[in-house]
Structure 1
Amino acid sequence: MPSHPPKKKIPGLADDDYYYTPEGFVVFTASYHLKRGYCCRNGCRHCPYGFKKKG
């Protein structure tokens, strides 16, 4: 089983702005996206702006 680096606090972000997947990836929450104030149009998992990536 692969080992993942320890989950670290990301400076400048609140705890409710992101979480780590079991694979070790950072996922931004809808709360983070709303604080940022715009849609990046990348099809984020928790996009509060309704953008869905095609294909």
Structure 2
Amino acid sequence: MTEERRPLADRPFTEPHPSRLSPAHPDRARILATHAAALSAGEAGYLDPTSGLFVLSAGFLARRGTCCGRGCRHCPYVDDPLSEQA
């Protein structure tokens, strides 16, 4: 998939798009707290408290300067989930 330059979405890095992390997710508070700690520390990501998988932070993804189109949980470029279904 080709990387595409896009403007950052109009929301704080601490808030993922609801299509990437549902407001009803049972571990949402733990996930967001872990992500916030990674952002504060300037880390590239964190270990997801539920799955144990490494998840890239919004700060790291923004510093990359492009969207990879792979549906990252904290993608700072996503502003319209329908445009992602192309």
Following TM superposition, the consecutive aligned residue runs of length 4 or more in structure 1 with deviations greater than 6 angstroms are: none
Which TM-score applies when normalising by structure 1? 0.60
Q: Distance in 2 between matches of 1:46 and 1:24?
A: 16
- Equivalent position of 1:43 in the other structure: 71
Which structure's residues are more often helix, by fraction?
Answer: 2
Is 2:48 the counterpart of 1:17?
Answer: no
Structural RMSD (CA): 2.1
Mind listing any 5+ residue stretches in structure 2 that lack a counterpart?
1-40
Higher relative contact order (CA 8 A, sep 6+): 2
Tell me the number of residue pairs that the alignment of Structure 1 and Structure 2 aligns. Answer: 41
Matched residue SS, 2:46: strand
Matched residue SS, 1:31: helix
User: What is the CA distance between 1:16 and its match in structure 2?
Assistant: 2.5
Which TM-score applies when normalising by structure 2? 0.41
Q: Distance in 1 between matches of 2:42 and 2:54?
A: 12
Is 2:51 the counterpart of 1:30?
Answer: no
- Kindly name which structure, 1 or 2, has the bigger radius of gyration based on alpha carbons: 1
